[in-house]
Amino acid sequence: MRPFSKFAPNDAAELKAVIFAVVFCGMFIAFLTAMHPPGFRKVHRRSSDHLTIPTPMRPEKLLEPEPQPFEDSNERFRKVPENFKYVDFRNHSYGFYGGTNGRQIDLTLTESELQLPNNAGWFSLRDVYYKDVTGDGKAEAIVRLSHVKCGGSCDGGADIFYIYKQRNGHLENIWQYETGSYGYGCGLKSFTIAGNQVVLELFGHCPKPAMDDPGPSKFVVKNMTFLLFTFNGQRFVREVIEFLPMEPTNVKNFEPRTAFY
């Protein structure tokens, strides 16, 4: 007996069906093998509840430019020239000053100040500049003092200007001017020297160094005065005075402008 003969189909039709089935199964297995070669593994994506989000980069802080230091355009005029090396304006006698009560005050500063008796006020040195204002090629000294008067209260201060030149080793005063005060009128708005001319702007109507048209209250001043002085070869003399309209202005603690050209 042939092996497996007892399992063989009984007729030719059944044999054909079996052969067809075997062939079909072989073709199907070959098809699957071609579509999914050995080593192929299906990758299943797994969702994650924990997403890793990269930390955003911190933007660089913008550097702000450093504020430029204040540059005083008048600083170069404070350099003491050779012809004034020996003069100490901080400890200096400016002559006699006529007080309001008719008494003469010896206006001598010590360490830049002079205190008046009975708390009546003081004088102090504000600044000293050096510039040729006469055209002789040598610098003159422009000295600015502050004069504060006090009674029941103080007046906010006035300014006194001196211009000195050197002549034969001695100081010669070629100009002197005192403004009014900020509290009661004719306080200094600006001081300018251009060439051999001096220009003053004062708060108020000031035909003389005191206001003749006071404002409605202390430190409140209306109008403005323009003054021009020119060097005539010997001294500075006034050439122009003009009065300009200005609304009432509070000038308490005002800091005037000083310029040289």
Report pLDDT for 54.
56
H/E stretch holding 23 reads helix 12-35
Q: Which of 102-106, 113-117, 207-211 has the lowest average pLDDT? A: 207-211
Per DSSP bridges, beta strands 93-98 and 224-231 are unpaired
Q: Which whole number is the average pLDDT over 211-239?
A: 90
Nearby residues of 155 by Cβ (< 8 Å), 6 or more positions away: 148, 149, 181, 182, 183, 184
Assign 3-state DSSP to the chain and report helix, strand, coil percentages, each to 5: 15, 40, 45
Q: Say whether pLDDT at 120 is over 50.
A: yes
Give per-residue pLDDT as tens, 196-206: 999 999 999 99
The mean pLDDT of 49-64, rounded to a whole number, is 52
| Alpha carbons 215 and 186: distance in angstroms, whole number | 11
Tens digit of pLDDT for each residue in 157-184?
Answer: 999 999 999 988 899 999 999 999 999 9
Cα 1–chain centre separation: 121
Q: Are 211 and 186 in contact, with CB atoms under 8 Å apart?
A: yes
The pLDDT, as a whole number, for residue 98 is 86
Q: What is the mean pLDDT of residues 181-210?
A: 93
Please compute the mean of the pLDDT values over residues 224-253 and round it to a whole number: 96
CA dihedral 79, 82, 87, 89 (to 10 degrees): -10
- Rounded to the nearest 10°, the torsion over CA 22, 24, 27, 31 is -130
Comparison of pLDDT for 15 and 73, the residue scoring more = 73
Kindly state the tokens that stand for 136.
């002789």
Give residue 208's pLDDT: 79
- Whether this model's pTM surpasses 0.75: no
Confidence of residue 100 (pLDDT cuts 50, 70, 90): low
Q: CA 258, CA 157: separation in Å to the nearest integer?
A: 16
Amino acid letter, residue 185: G
Q: Is 185 exposed, middle or buried (0-12, 13-18, 19+ CB in 10 A)?
A: buried
